[in-house]
Amino acid sequence: MNTLNVIFDIDGVIVDSEQLHFDVLSALLPAQTRGVSPEDLIGLSLEATLLRIGIAPEQHHDITTQIISAYKASLGPRYLRAGIRGFIQHLMAQQIPFGFVSTAPRDICLANIATLALPITPLLISGDDVGRTKPHPDPYLAMLQRLGARPDQTIVIEDTDLGIQAATDAGIERVYGWPHGLSGTESYARAHKVIHALSEIDAVEAILT
């Protein structure tokens, strides 16, 4: 019986979208993002991002709607990270359970997942689904419950220290850090292993064979 489960972060793992997020934010809020770099905002929820750049909470709803609309209009399959769609297809072929965990609003998560063109609706815990997002472990604890999985049966693929902290604090030891072009400020100190391709995951034999 299979005892492997896989949980993916979305932004930076499924799609190489961190620069796109920043470009959208900069276009809509040029004054507030002046002097801010994309690396300053990696891993933050949209709410935390808006607070970081000085947007008052009462303005968040309207600005969030604009950001989501602009982001979805720019997104496309070209943002998929190398090998990710094939990797997930192997999971489905072998009936290995998997899910997605993100700090982003559900609409953005669904748009990102749609770029994979999956034949199923996968499990998702978005920033809208839990009271506390990463780096709190709640999103990963919620996904473990949805999968019916134990932490020692699960691997996680993340691109940020905040996400790695959330997963490890949920008791998951096999958390893989997968850097991208904007990961220079991430230490990956708590990652089980830093990979540069999905084939470097220790459990890859069970997934890709």
Instruction: Please write the tens of the pLDDT for every residue from 120-159.
Output: 999 999 999 999 999 999 999 999 999 999 999 999 999 9
Final residue in a domain of this structure, among 50, 74, 98: 74
* Residue 86 and residue 140 share a domain: yes
* Residue 65 and residue 12 share a domain: no
* Residue 106 and residue 66 share a domain: no
Domain of residue 98, CATH code: 3.40.50.1000
> Sign of torsion, CA 200 202 204 205?
positive
Looking at residue 202, its pLDDT comes to 86
Contact 100, 129 (CB under 8 A): no
Looking at residue 184, its pLDDT comes to 87
Confidence of residue 39 (pLDDT cuts 50, 70, 90): confident
Report d(CA 103, CA 13) in Å as an integer.
Answer: 13
Q: Give the single-character DSSP code of 134.
A: T
Residue with the bigger pLDDT between 204 and 108: it is 108
Q: Which residues pair with 133 in a beta bridge?
A: none
Phi-psi region for residue 125, left (φ > 0), alpha (ψ -120 to 50) or beta?
beta
Contact 7, 143 (CB under 8 A): yes
How many structural domains compose the chain? Answer: 2
* Residue 101 and residue 58 share a domain: no
Final residue in a domain of this structure, among 26, 47, 74: 74
* Residue 86 and residue 63 share a domain: no
Confidence of residue 89 (pLDDT cuts 50, 70, 90): very high
Final residue in a domain of this structure, among 38, 57, 74: 74
* Residue 199 and residue 135 share a domain: yes
* Residue 51 and residue 88 share a domain: no
pLDDT at 207 over 50: yes
* Residue 137 and residue 61 share a domain: no
* Residue 84 and residue 69 share a domain: no
Q: Domain range spanning residue 57?
A: 18-74
* Helix (H) or strand (E) segment spanning residue 184: none
* Residue 164 and residue 64 share a domain: no
Looking at residue 209, its pLDDT comes to 59
* Residue 103 and residue 173 share a domain: yes
* Residue 98 and residue 52 share a domain: no
User: Which segments of 35-186 does DSSP mark as H helices, in order?
Assistant: 46-52, 60-74, 84-93, 106-114, 138-147, 161-169
